[in-house]
Amino acid sequence: MKFLITGGAGFMGSNFIRYILNKYPEHEVVNLDKLTYAGNLENLKDVETNTRYEFVKGDIADEKVVDQVMQKGIDQIVNFAAETHVDRSIHGAKSFIMTDVFGTYNLLEAAKKYKTQKYIQVSTDEVFGSTEDGEFYEDTAFEPNSPYSASKAGGDHLVRAYWKTYDLPTVVTHSCNFYGPYQYPEKLIPLFVTNLIEGKKIPVYGDGQQVREWIFVPDYCRALDTVIQKGEIGEVYNIGSGYRKANLEITNIILGLMGQGNDMIEYVKDRPGHDKRYAVNSDKLRKLGWKPDVQFEQGIKDTVEWYKENELWWKRLKSGEYLDYYKKQYG
C-alpha cells in the first residue's frame, strides 16, 4: 500500500508517518509538504533514510506538483495539509482558503483522475461551532466561527460533494484538540510550556473558562488508523478522547508540573469569535474497536517532559532557523 500523506512535516502528519512506517512493514509513504513555518523535517529525522519513505516539497494548491506525485502510484491519500492556527486566520484568511479549500479541491480532483482507492480528509471538531453543554455528532450541522474553521468546513463540504457526485471513495474525520511531542509552540499547551521554560508569562485569553477536548497524539494515530482500516466509504467519524478541560484547568496542571505559580498567568484580551466549548461524541469510532489508552494526566506529564528535553528543537523552530535552512535547501 502506498500512501500520499500531505502535510507530513507538521505535528500530526509527522507523528502519523512514523506510526504507519513502524506498524506496517509493507506500507510506503510519500510525504508532500510545503514546509511552511509549522512544517519541519527535523520531526522525521529518524525515518528520513527509510527506503519506504519519500519526501517531496510542494504545495497541495499546486496542481502540477500534485499530479507529479500521483504518478508515483498512490493507493490512498491522507490529507493532513492545512493552515491550522485560529489566531493566524483572524489576522489573514487567504492562505487558509488557498490550502484548506483550494488545496483540498486539487487533491480531490487528483484522486478522481487517478482512481485512488481511498481519500481520507483529516478535519476538525471546530467546523461544528460551539456547544454550551451538548456534544457534536457526525451529523451535527456545520457552524464555523473562525476563518480557519470556515476554511476547513469548505474543504469538508467539497469532500462530501465528490463522494455524492462522483462516487469518490472518501472518509472524513473530525478530531478534537491534539497534544504531544513535536507540536508547534503556538498552540496552548506547547506555548505555555515553552514560555515557562523561558521564564515568560503565559497569556490566558478572556476568563480561561473555554473548554476543549484533548487527545494525546499516539491515541490519535491509532484512531485514524482504525478509521482507515475499518471506516466505511462515504462516512464521517468523530475522533474524541472524552478528556474535556477548561483552559484554566490545563494552565494550572502545567504550572504544577513545572513547579511554578499563578503569578505567571497573564489574562489577555479574548480571541474574537472565541468558541466557548467543544465536546465530540466518538461512539461511532469506538464501535469500530478503538478507545484512548493514555489518560490526560499522563499525556500532559510526558508532553511537558518532552519539551524540557528538546529545547533546541523548539528554540530553532521559534526563531525560524529551520525555515531559513529549508529555503536554502529546497528553494
Catalytically active residues are: 125-126, 148
The residue among 74 and 215 lying less far from ligand DAU, judged by its C-beta, is 215
Residue 46: closest CA among 27, 21, 25, 69: 21
Residue in the structure block whose three cell numbers are 535552512: 325
Gap between the Cα atoms of 292 and 220, Å rounded? 8
Q: With binding defined as CB under 6 A, does residue 223 bind ligand DAU? A: no
The residue among 34 and 212 lying less far from ligand DAU, judged by its C-beta, is 212
Footprint (CB under 6 A) of ligand DAU, residues 283-312: none
Footprint (CB under 6 A) of ligand DAU, residues 36-55: none
Q: With binding defined as CB under 6 A, does residue 219 bind ligand DAU? A: no
DSSP 8-state symbol, 98: I
Handedness of CA 98, 101, 103, 105 (dihedral sign): negative
Q: With binding defined as CB under 6 A, does residue 29 bind ligand DAU? A: no
DSSP lists the bridge partners of residue 225 as none
Strands lying side by side in the sheet with 118-124 = 53-57, 28-33, 2-6, 76-79, 118-124, 170-175, 236-239
DSSP-H helix ranges across the chain? 11-23, 63-70, 86-91, 94-96, 104-113, 147-166, 188-197, 217-230, 247-257, 283-286, 296-309, 311-319, 321-330
DSSP 47-79: GTT-TTEEEEE--TT-HHHHHHHHTTT-SEEEE
The binder of ligand DAU chosen from 96, 216, 278, 322 (CB under 6 A)? 278
Q: Interacting stretch for ligand DAU, rule CB under 6 A, among 7-15, 66-74, 121-129, 289-297? A: 121-129
Q: With binding defined as CB under 6 A, does residue 191 bind ligand DAU? A: yes
Site string for ligand DAU, 131-170 (x = CB under 6 A): ----------------------------------------
The binder of ligand DAU chosen from 18, 212, 244, 245 (CB under 6 A)? 212
The residue among 2 and 85 lying less far from ligand DAU, judged by its C-beta, is 85
**Is 314 strand, coil or helix?**
helix
Q: With binding defined as CB under 6 A, does residue 188 bind ligand DAU? A: yes
The binder of ligand DAU chosen from 1, 37, 56, 203 (CB under 6 A)? 203
The CB-nearest residue to ligand DAU is 124
Q: Binding residues for ligand DAU, how many (CB under 6 A)?
A: 19
Q: Interacting stretch for ligand DAU, rule CB under 6 A, among 19-27, 89-97, 183-191, 296-304? A: 183-191
Residue 33 contacts residue 11 (beta carbons within 8 Å)? no
Could you tell me the smallest distance in angstroms from the CB atom of residue 13 to ligand DAU? 13
Q: With binding defined as CB under 6 A, does residue 83 bind ligand DAU? A: no
Return the exposure string of 176-186: e unless at least 16 CB atoms fall within 10 Å of the residue's CB, then b: bbbbbbbbbbb
Gap between the Cα atoms of 8 and 5, Å rounded? 6
Residue 269 contacts residue 204 (beta carbons within 8 Å)? no
Please state the φ and ψ torsions of residue 123, each to the nearest 5 degrees: -135, -170
The three grid cell numbers given for residue 166, joined into one nine-digit string: 462522483
Q: With binding defined as CB under 6 A, does residue 121 bind ligand DAU? A: no
Q: With binding defined as CB under 6 A, does residue 124 bind ligand DAU? A: yes
The residue among 13 and 169 lying less far from ligand DAU, judged by its C-beta, is 13
Q: With binding defined as CB under 6 A, does residue 279 bind ligand DAU? A: no
The binder of ligand DAU chosen from 14, 40, 79, 84 (CB under 6 A)? 84
The residue among 70 and 204 lying less far from ligand DAU, judged by its C-beta, is 204
Q: With binding defined as CB under 6 A, does residue 86 bind ligand DAU? A: yes
Residue 143 contacts residue 129 (beta carbons within 8 Å)? yes
Residues making contact with ligand DAU (CB under 6 A): 84-86, 124-126, 176-177, 187-188, 191, 203-205, 210, 212, 247, 271, 278
